[in-house]
Amino acid sequence: METRNLGPTGHESTVATFGAIALNWLEQEGANQMVELVLDRGVNHFDVAPTYGDAELKLGPKLRQHREEIYLGCKTQERDYDGARRKLERSLDRLGVDHIDLYQVHGLEYEEELEEITGDDGALAAFRDAKEEGLIGDIGLTSHGNPQLILDAMDRIDDLATVMFPLNPVVAAKGDDDHDYEAVLERAEEAGIGTLGIKAFAKGSWPSTEELPEADRPYSNWYEPVDTPDEIRERFDFAASQGLSTVVTPGDPKLVAMVLDAATRYDGMAESEQRSLIADARHDDSPVPEQLHH
Amino acid sequence: MDVPRTVTTALEDRPIEGAVCLEAGAGVGNTTAGLLANGAARVYAVTDDRTHAETTLERVRSPTDDDGNDDPRRARNRLAVLEADLRAIPLPDDAVEVITAHGLFNVVPPADLDAIVGELTRVAAPGCHLVVDDYEPLPDDAAVRDLFALENAAARLADGEPMLTFYPAAALGRLFAGYGWTVDRRRTLLDPVPWTESHLEAHAAVVRSRVDALPADSELGAALLERADALVDGIGSESAGEMYSLALRRPE
């Protein structure tokens, strides 16, 4: 599988990153099998979070067995120093490792959060101390919120090594600032920051719960994903051809193998074909940005 | 202003800034929006369809429009929507510096081609740029071909001429060359072309409108309509064919 430079981390990430939230929906044996499959396909970058149910615990056994082959990203939604430190230690404990390669501010949504994170007692101070102690490698940020806020964060955090944000034809088709994640990608490229693309496979929001109760949704993603091999491949090729360092696999385990197949076969996408996807998605609704109120 | 990627891509290498432009066949104003956003000094949007004329004006008037930090009111001042026939354009000779025809020629019957190309040439100033964006003929195995064939059949019955003709880029290039234009470049805008559910429904609606123009007891009309509806249901959506952008230049 193709690898790309992940900004100043010095890591060459595979063009697909395994979104380990998928492990949350599997029993331990199934989780082990999935990690083996992901490694078999050559993926070398995993991403997990304490908010992904049991994913950290389920990733643990195979992660420890293959620690040298895996570049590990984790994150926290804590915004203050003490909270972030506690969550980091808890993640290290649950994963059973002594080092996380990329530790990220998880799900930035509000301007006030950015204020708090960057303050003297903010999460970033805890990240930096942990970096000094060798507990983490680099600092990143994730958001599926307003692109302008991500741009602000990039301006204000000078040791940011990576950003994770949505990118797909539906948001690319929107011409307004609220969906301008391409501006985030462009700024990151200028600044040499690594980029991880999420929501590449988002087709739209789920129908209302009256129309389709949550329990009846065929996929565990919080958005409705594309789900045929051809669509998955188109979406992967689109995201990878935008220039992202790596594209994160979707949260439902049923889709992961299809995405790995697409990633293995990736060999670029013609610009006219990219525009076709954008044109096709022109009237679709995007599930991002969305305020998640965590 | 929301400008489709096909339009921005077709215009990106053309000198629109400060130019007097003609959008031939305004549609819903996508290319007008693109020309204004790129700093056109004036855009004459020509359409013979009252609804399209209104939609184009409305889009530029909308307070949510964004034409690149420009004041939408000023954008409106730079736009003149002309309800007119392209075979008789109400502009003087040599009046425009850039002409766009985005998705126009596929709705121009072969019999009208010559008159329209002649008029576009007449209003083009020496050195004028022309951008023709259209569709190559669809591949044989494209399911949407059947729907378009029905549309043409209904239009021929009602009006005596087809509704859709997909001219190859090379053919249009040679036609314009006959009027003194030279081809600057050809690029692919969409490959494949997404024919979405709403596109197909719009084409079925054309079949319906033409069948409505036939005598009420037309069995053939009813059969065409039934078939068109079945095709829309059966196809759903399809990606097929190529949309191209041909840029031409009139000698100085």
Question: Could you list the mean pLDDT of each consecutive 10-residue stretch along chain B, which spans 252 residues?
Answer: 89 98 94 94 94 87 53 76 94 97 97 97 98 98 97 95 97 98 97 95 94 89 94 96 98 94
- CA distances in angstroms from A104 to A126, A186, A278, B16, listed in the order given: 12, 20, 30, 44
Say what the pLDDT of residue A293 is: 43
With respect to residue B233, please indicate whether it lies within any of the assigned structural domains: no
The verdict on B196 touching A (C-beta cutoff 8 Å) is: yes
Judged by CB atoms closer than 8 Å, whether chains meet at B190 and A275 is answered as yes
Report the number of distinct structural domains present in chain B: 1
With respect to residue B237, please indicate whether it lies within any of the assigned structural domains: no
Interface test with B, best of A276, A283, A284, A286 (most B CBs within 10 A): A276
Q: Identify the closest residue of chain B to A272 by CA–CA distance.
A: B190
Judged by CB atoms closer than 8 Å, whether chains meet at B191 and A280 is answered as no
With respect to residue B115, please indicate whether it lies within any of the assigned structural domains: yes
The CA distance from B233 to A131, in Å, is 58
Say what the pLDDT of residue B30 is: 93
- Of chain B, the percentage scoring pLDDT greater than 90 comes to 84
With respect to residue B145, please indicate whether it lies within any of the assigned structural domains: no
Burial A190-204 (b: 16+ CB within 10 A, else e): eeebbbbbbbbbbbe
CB neighbour list of residue A185: distance below 8 Å, 6 or more residues apart: A165, A167, A195, A242, A243, A244
Q: Work out whether strand A45-47 and strand B182-190 pair parallel, antiparallel, or are unpaired.
A: unpaired
Burial A141-170 (b: 16+ CB within 10 A, else e): bbbbbbbebbbebbeebeebbbbbbbbbbb
**CA-closest candidate to residue B242, choices B191, B172, B167:** B191
Q: Which residues of A touch B189 (CB under 8 A)?
A: 272, 275
With respect to residue B151, please indicate whether it lies within any of the assigned structural domains: no
Residue pLDDT, tens place only, B50-105: 999 998 888 876 644 445 545 555 677 899 999 999 999 999 999 999 999 999 99
The verdict on A273 touching B (C-beta cutoff 8 Å) is: yes
Say what the pLDDT of residue A245 is: 98
According to DSSP, the residues that pair with A222 across neighbouring strands are: none
In chain A, positions 243-272, which contact chain B (CB-CB < 8 Å)? Answer: 270-272
pTM for the model stands at 0.83
The CA distance from A147 to A168, in Å, is 14
B112: domain range? 5-138+164-192+242-249
With respect to residue B230, please indicate whether it lies within any of the assigned structural domains: no
Judged by CB atoms closer than 8 Å, whether chains meet at A176 and B2 is answered as yes
In chain B, positions 134-153, which contact chain A (CB-CB < 8 Å)? Answer: none
Say what the pLDDT of residue A130 is: 98
Judged by CB atoms closer than 8 Å, whether chains meet at B190 and A173 is answered as no
| Regions in chain A scoring below 70 on pLDDT | 290-294
Say what the pLDDT of residue A288 is: 86
The verdict on B1 touching A (C-beta cutoff 8 Å) is: yes
Size of interface A-B (CB pairs under 8 A): 48
Chain A closest CA to B64's CA: distance in Å? 10
Looking at residue B48, the DSSP 8-state letter turns out to be S
With respect to residue B21, please indicate whether it lies within any of the assigned structural domains: yes
The verdict on B5 touching A (C-beta cutoff 8 Å) is: yes
Chain A closest CA to B40's CA: distance in Å? 19
Instruction: Select the residue of B2, B6, B66 nearest A275 (Cβ to Cβ).
Output: B6
The CA distance from A101 to A48, in Å, is 12
Say what the pLDDT of residue A222 is: 86
* CATH assignment at residue B52: 3.40.50.150
With respect to residue B81, please indicate whether it lies within any of the assigned structural domains: yes
Judged by CB atoms closer than 8 Å, whether chains meet at A280 and B188 is answered as no
